[in-house]
Each structure stands twice: as C-alpha cells, then as structure tokens.
Structure 1
Amino acid sequence: YDTNGGHILIDDKNIKTINLNKLRENTGLVPQDVFLFSDTIENNIAFGYKNELPDKSIIEKAAKDAAIYSSIIEFPKGFQTKIGERGITLSGGQKQRISIARAIIKNPKLLIFDDCLSAVDTETEDIILNNLKLIMKDRTSIIVSHRVSSVKNANIILVIEKGEIIEKGTHESLLKAKGSYYETYKIQLLEEEKNKIE
C-alpha cells in the first residue's frame, strides 16, 4: 500500500520490504461484508488455514473463540452442514462469526476487524470480544468500528472523522476529554439502555 506521506511499519519493518505472500499469510482480515463459499461450515472456516485441512480440534477451537461453536453443533450435520445455494441460510451474525473463525484459525501476527461486529447484538459482541482478548494478546489487532463497545479496551483509540484523526487516546482519556468520542459513547449508552428496557 503506497502512502501519501510517512511509512507503514510492521514489527519495525517498512511494509514495502515485506514479501507480499508472507504479509498475506500473517494477516487475518474480517471484512464487514462477509463472503462464504457454498460449501460446508468446516471448509469455510478451514479456508483461512495454511495449505492443508487442519485437525478438527483446531477448527473447533477457532469456532469457540469466535462464539459460533454452539450454533454450529445445533445443526443436524454440525460442521459438515452445507451453507449457500444448496444448504442452509445463516444469519448475518452467524456469517460474521464464521468469518472471524476463518481469520483467527491461521494464527496471524496482524488481525484486522473491519466493522465486523455490526451484525451481532451487544451481548454476542461482548462474548466475542472476551474470547478474542487472548487471541489479540501479543499481536497487532486493528478494530474498525462505529461502536464504542467494540474498541473501549484497545490500547490506543483513533477517532476518525472525514478521513482525519480528530482524537487519540484510551477509552478513559477520551471520555475525560469530552469530545466526539465522549458524545458518541453517551448516545450509544442511552441506546443500549433503551434496548434493554424494551
């Protein structure tokens, strides 16, 4: 990726000096718009793995970490359930969690979550984020989100508006600053409380 200014570094190495295949091998991406193959759930998760089909326990662990395991085993054929045109239809949240399992199964050094929790409710989001804490430990993780709840535990939060960084800090420091992040947090907190009452 060419920048307009500055450099992109990964582990103190300029991204331009890193072999593209190695970079892709070491990056796990969970996009907002998920693409799943018309295949089994197992193969959709395993697609993120290196070149061979991983051991079933590795697939199951990725599913558990992505908080989708219990949904999968409820299907009559479990991990062998086909999805897509000739299979079952999954909810948006289930698709997202399978996509998360696909990204984390290969144990990448860099994880990018691109607004991927938008299709799940806040309770499921909490479960996924708690499971991901251990996975994100000791690796670079980037979470792109419109929900404060998705990023509040991050080491550094960047608030971006119209392509510009307008605030930077921890959850606590941004709340104290009472800027855009604080206002968004208040609005989302009220919405959560309202949803709990209904």
Structure 2
Amino acid sequence: MRIYNLEENQVFIDGNDIMKLSIESVRNAMGYVPQDNFLFSDTITANIGFSFNELDEEKIKESAKLADVYDNVMEFKEQFNTILGERGVTVSGGQKQRISIARALAKNPEILILDDSVSAVDTKTEEAIIKNLYRIRKGKTTIFIAHRISTVKKMDKIILLNQGEVSAIGSHAELMKTSPLYQDMVKRQTLENLVQGGANHEGL
C-alpha cells in the first residue's frame, strides 16, 4: 500500500517494482480491510459503496451477500438505508467486520488484504465468506493476516511468522509435515475449540 518506502527491487506488482509505481496507482489496485474496522456515520449503502463515484445498488447488495451480511441488513427496519452510528456502533462487531469486507469486495481490487478481518464472526460464517472469496477472487491476489488456523488452512500458501520473523512457508498440508510450530498451533487451537464447545466452534 506504500505506507512505508522500501528499497527498490523488494516488492513487485505484476512484475513492476512497487517503488516505481505511483502511490495512486498502487492504492487503486488494492483493497484493505483493517483490524479496526472504520464505518462512517451514514447509510449501509453509502458505507459499502464508498469507492463508487455513483452508488451501484445491485453491486452493493451482491457484495453484502458475498460478505455474508445481506440477511442481517435485511432484518433492519430501514435495511440498506439504515444509518450507522459513529464508527458503526449500532451494529455488532461481526456485522461491522462483514460490512467492511463488503466495502472492499465492492471495489473488486486486484489485491485484497484482510487484516484479521473475520476474528469476530463464528466458524460457520467465516467458512462461508472464505468460500465466496475463493469463488470470486480467482486470478487475483488475496492476502489474509490471521491468528486462527481455520482462516488460513485452505490458502494456497501460508507464511508463518514467529516473533516478527518468517518461520515457515507452505500449504497447510506441507506445514503439518515440516513445521513443529505450526503443528503445535493446530493442536492448541483444536483443543481450545473443543473446550469452548458450542455450535460456533466446530474445530479446524
């Protein structure tokens, strides 16, 4: 996203050195859903369609479906015309995350970065969102930053960090064979889910 400047020849987008591209072109190519989801004190339509010059209601509704928040919105009295409070205080944490994801999906960026963006939703909802992303993001780059193994286990490549350094790189199956740290994380999170129990915790 060019928040920080790098040395040349470190990061490339489609073979182009990111430091030789304009900041505008880099950011136009990207969608970003941060940990601290920010929503405007405006309608749900305006929040999801923030990147549009003219609001496209069909695309906004489709993006809400992909982010698995459409049914929740339709339960509100004013539906997509519902006014969200400052920073989205009128919706739950999970709904806030999904509205933010819908906003990024509406932009349909070449590169989508989701920073711990499904941490407030249950496992079933998380799986539905990831399944939709797999379907619509083919040929594009999607980067998940996550602590939950369930979020990343189906990704093409997982980069495992330990104390800020790369510990291992590979698919879920590969890391289960080669990375003791990854194996330990899987065992620990599986046990935590079993202890917590309930419909929202179905293991990894």
Q: TM-score range by the shorter chain?
A: over 0.9
Q: How do 1:72-111 residues align onto structure 2 when only pairs under 5 Å count?
A: 72-85=73-86, 89-111=90-112
Specify the SS of the correspondent of 2:159.
strand
Q: Post-superposition shift, 1:176?
A: 1.1
Q: Post-superposition shift, 1:16?
A: 1.1
Q: Post-superposition shift, 1:23?
A: 1.4
Q: 1:50: which partner in 2?
A: 52
Q: How do 1:50-69 residues align onto structure 2 when only pairs under 5 Å count?
A: 50-54=52-56, 56-69=57-70
Q: 2:10: which partner in 1?
A: 7
Relative to structure 1, the CA distance from residue 178 to residue 19 in structure 2 (aligned partners, 3 Å threshold; closer, same or farther) is closer
Specify the SS of the correspondent of 2:99.
helix
Q: Distance in 2 between matches of 1:89 and 1:132?
A: 26
Q: 1:162: which partner in 2?
A: 163
Contact 1:37/1:84, CA 8 A, preserved across alignment: yes
Specify the SS of the correspondent of 1:105.
helix
Residue deviations 1:99-141 (CA, integer Å, cap 9, x gap): 0000010110000000111111212111111111112211111
Q: Distance in 2 between matches of 1:4 and 1:14?
A: 10
Task: Specify the code of the residue in structure 2 equivalent to 1:63.
Answer: A
Q: Distance in 1 between matches of 2:120 and 2:152?
A: 16
- What are the ranges of 5 or more consecutive residues in structure 2 without an aligned counterpart? 200-204
Q: Post-superposition shift, 1:195?
A: 2.6
Task: Specify the code of the residue in structure 2 equivalent to 1:146.
Answer: H
1:151 is the counterpart of 2:163: no
Residue deviations 1:122-172 (CA, integer Å, cap 9, x gap): 121111111111122111111100011111111111101111101111100
Q: Please, what is the CA RMSD of the aligned residues? A: 1.7
Q: Distance in 2 between matches of 1:132 and 1:58?
A: 15
Task: Specify the code of the residue in structure 1 equivalent to 2:19.
Answer: K
Contact 2:6/2:19, CA 8 A, preserved across alignment: no
Relative to structure 1, the CA distance from residue 88 to residue 146 in structure 2 (aligned partners, 3 Å threshold; closer, same or farther) is closer
Contact 1:82/1:88, CA 8 A, preserved across alignment: no
Q: Distance in 2 between matches of 1:135 and 1:163?
A: 31
Q: Distance in 1 between matches of 2:188 and 2:9?
A: 35
Task: Specify the code of the residue in structure 1 equivalent to 2:177.
Answer: K
Query: Identity percentage over the alignment?
Result: 45
- TM-score (ref. length: structure 1): 0.92
Q: How do 1:167-182 residues align onto structure 2 when only pairs under 5 Å count?
A: 167-182=168-183
Relative to structure 1, the CA distance from residue 141 to residue 124 in structure 2 (aligned partners, 3 Å threshold; closer, same or farther) is same
- TM-score (ref. length: structure 2): 0.90
- What are the ranges of 5 or more consecutive residues in structure 1 without an aligned counterpart? none
Q: Post-superposition shift, 1:2?
A: 2.5
Specify the SS of the correspondent of 2:133.
helix
Task: Specify the code of the residue in structure 1 equivalent to 2:97.
Answer: Q
Task: Specify the code of the residue in structure 2 equivalent to 1:167.
Answer: A
Count how many residue pairs are aligned between Structure 1 and Structure 2.
195
Contact 2:152/2:158, CA 8 A, preserved across alignment: yes
Q: 2:140: which partner in 1?
A: 139
Q: Distance in 2 between matches of 1:178 and 1:21?
A: 39
Specify the SS of the correspondent of 1:129.
helix
1:40 is the counterpart of 2:49: no
Q: 2:127: which partner in 1?
A: 126
